[in-house]
Amino acid sequence: LLGDTEVAQIIEPVEIEGVFVVPATIQLAGAEIELVSALSRETRLKSIVDQVVEDFEFIIVDCPPSLGLLTINALTAADGLVIPIQCEYYALEGLSKLLDSVRLVKTHLNPNLEVFGVVMTMYDSRTRLAQQVVEEVRDFFGDKIFETLIPRTVRLSEAPSFGQPVTMYDPSGKGADAYRNLAKEVMDRV
């Protein structure tokens, strides 16, 4: 976001055929602070994505949970977003701020931005709280909420520490099944 490196030089293939990543580096930690005084600070990622957009069918940007300049850059560069919401007590608190930010970005920086959907994560069917959170989110978002609920499982939480997607770490597990189902739902909406 701040350097002169061409994005094409840092794109790396992964074990899954046809999937590539641009890995985060330690420099990303300070990027938020350095972007504050940068010219065109909200559109840096869009300029980078525009360099390679024709080379890929989909480009997915995984954002931090904060609403700082890194997230604003992602929203400015995106066609749409999938909002993950944890099935926990405080999960809905930051939602109104996120939706306000989406409206501002749509108004001032990216008029084509749309919410593709909302996915409920860390769902534990044994708890009444998780069920209540899902009901509240369904009431608020209506048909924007994906049917697939991402479960809270040990194997799902272990996968990142092994540097693998859950579909490789535990391919027949509930978490992998849920993410495959979510992928199908997202593809149907995009």
Average pLDDT over residues 73-86: 95
Of the pLDDT bands very low, low, confident and very high (cuts 50, 70, 90), residue 18 is very high
| Sequential DSSP letters for 27-76 | HHHHHHHHHTTSTTTTSHHHHHHHHHGGG-S----PPPSS-SHHHHHHHH
Average pLDDT over residues 103-110: 95
Mean predicted lDDT score pLDDT of the chain: 90
5 has pLDDT over 80: no
145 has pLDDT over 70: yes
Q: What is the pLDDT of residue 1?
A: 67
CATH 3.40.50.300 residue window(s) in the chain? 79-190
For domain 79-190, give the CATH superfamily: P-loop containing nucleotide triphosphate hydrolases (3.40.50.300)
186 has pLDDT over 90: yes
pTM for the model: 0.88
Distance CA 25, CA 91 (A): 28
Q: What is the pLDDT of residue 3?
A: 67
117 has pLDDT over 80: yes
**Unique residue bearing structure tokens 């990622």:** 45
Q: What is the pLDDT of residue 85?
A: 95
190 has pLDDT over 90: no
110 has pLDDT over 70: yes
